[in-house]
Each structure stands twice: as C-alpha cells, then as structure tokens.
C-alpha cells in the first residue's frame, strides 16, 4: 500500500513528519511519502523520505509569474506530485497540461477527483494513479472506506475500465491502520491522507499506527 501524506498548509513541523515517515518507512512493506508545501520540498527531501509536491502548474520554463514549474519541484527533490487536489482544482485542459508537465520532469503523478465519473476522466489523461476523495469527508475523521465504500469500489472499477495501468488511491478521513486495511480491501492501492498525521500530537505514533496492520 502507498501511504501519501499531504501536509497541506497545516501548521505542523514538516521536518518532524518527514523524519518520522522516513523512520516508519524502514519498518514496513508499505511505501510512505510526504507532500509538504512547495517551500519545504528541499528540506523534506533532504531527510531521505520520499517527497511529493502538492501541485504543479501546466506550464513550461518562461514568463509564468507565481506558478509552480514541474522541473523546479523535481530539482528540489520531489519525485511525484498531486494534481487537481480538491483544494487546488484545475480545469480539464489544465489537469492534462499538468500531467504532461510532470511527465516532462519525470515526476510520478496522482490526479485527484471527487467521484468515480471524474476518476474515469482523470484516468483517461494517463497519470500514474488517481485518488478518489469525496470533498465532504475531507478533514472529518470519518473514513471514506467506512462512510462511502461504494465510491472507492466504483472508482477502482471506473479507472480499470479506462486504463488498467492507472492505480487507484482513496482518501478523506483516513487516520488509522484499520482505515488503511479497509481501503485495501475495497481495491485501493493506497491512501491519501492529511489531518490524521499533520494534526496529530505525535505524528510518528500516528504513522506507526497507520502501517501497523499491513
């Protein structure tokens, strides 16, 4: 299972989470990565943890003030990027452009979407993976695998129907090892989560609990 921890703009210590994720990663078969804010990418990557960007823009080198260039993200040490997160929505053409920009910079891609129909559309753009996250459950602590298991199973089916090389993650409300197992049992290849780790008093313990049953 892939456990991708999105730190969003939570007021957590990205280095503490990164070091905890690196250490826990060494104890488990699960794959753990951390997606900090863009300005923290280099420091987080320097800890040795697998590091992802939260976003890249559909642009190339040039006159693009205030944008995030995939090549810069890769040069900072990121090896993958989220695209079209629920809190950073893009138009369809821009999702396509961001996937192409990430590919150009050799970044792995996870395109987020709200529901199975959007997952099918996202899978058609050829990312490495898609992540289904019902927005209403994000940050609630109520896991999508429990509150809406059908959305995960339907997303897995929708992506496979379009392109079975695209793997499927799920997210929203996931915070325990049981949630990760439930996601796995619904066909998900990984989980995308944030508050369960970023807002935990002890991120290392939260991470250890997440991968413990795997």
Binding site for ligand G3P (CB under 6 A): 6, 85-86, 133, 138-139, 171-174, 192-196
Closest approach of Cβ 81 to ligand G3P, in Å? 12
Q: In the numeric block, which tokens belong to residue 46?
A: 């320097």
d(CA 61, CA 31): 32
Closest approach of Cβ 60 to ligand G3P, in Å? 26
d(CA 110, CA 99): 9
Q: Nearer Cβ to ligand G3P, position 6 or 109?
A: 6
d(CA 8, CA 109): 17
Our answer to whether residue 42 is catalytic in this structure is no
Closest approach of Cβ 65 to ligand G3P, in Å? 27
Task: Return the closest-CA partner of residue 158 out of 125, 117, 199.
Answer: 117
Task: Return the closest-CA partner of residue 34 out of 88, 96, 77, 89.
Answer: 77
Other CB atoms within 10 Å distance of the CB of residue 78: 28
d(CA 129, CA 175): 21
Q: Per the residue annotation, which of 40, 55, 85, 153 is the catalytic one?
A: 85
d(CA 27, CA 24): 5
Q: Nearer Cβ to ligand G3P, position 193 or 207?
A: 193
Q: Nearer Cβ to ligand G3P, position 69 or 147?
A: 147
* CB-based closest residue to ligand G3P: 195
Q: Nearer Cβ to ligand G3P, position 126 or 139?
A: 139
Q: Per the residue annotation, which of 55, 133, 157, 161 is the catalytic one?
A: 133
Beta strands 190-193 and 2-6, pairing class: parallel
Closest approach of Cβ 134 to ligand G3P, in Å? 10
Closest approach of Cβ 51 to ligand G3P, in Å? 15
Q: Nearer Cβ to ligand G3P, position 172 or 182?
A: 172
* Strands (DSSP E) found in 47-179: 50-53, 80-83, 108-113, 129-132, 167-171
Our answer to whether residue 133 is catalytic in this structure is yes
Catalytically annotated residues: 85, 133
């Amino acid at each position: 299972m892939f456990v991708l921890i999105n730190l969003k703009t939570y007021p957590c210590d990205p280095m503490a989470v990164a070091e905890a994720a690196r250490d826990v990663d060494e104890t488990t078969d699960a794959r753990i990565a951390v997606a900090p804010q863009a300005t923290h990418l280099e420091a987080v990557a320097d800890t040795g943890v697998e590091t992802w960007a939260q976003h890249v823009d559909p642009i190339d080198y040039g006159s693009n003030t205030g944008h995030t260039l995939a090549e810069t993200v890769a040069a900072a040490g990121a090896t993958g990027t989220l695209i079209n997160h629920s809190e950073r929505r893009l138009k369809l053409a821009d999702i396509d452009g961001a996937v192409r920009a990430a590919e150009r910079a050799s970044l792995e891609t996870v395109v987020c979407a709200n529901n199975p129909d959007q997952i099918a559309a996202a899978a058609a753009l050829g990312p490495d993976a898609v992540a289904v996250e019902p927005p209403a459950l994000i940050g609630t602590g109520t896991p999508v695998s429990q509150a809406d298991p059908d959305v995960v199973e339907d997303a897995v089916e929708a992506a496979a129907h379009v392109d079975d090389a695209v793997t499927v993650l799920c997210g929203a409300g996931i915070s325990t090892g049981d949630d990760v197992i439930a996601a796995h049992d619904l066909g998900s290849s990984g989980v995308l989560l944030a508050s369960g780790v970023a807002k935990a008093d002890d991120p290392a313990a939260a991470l250890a609990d997440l991968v413990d049953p795997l």
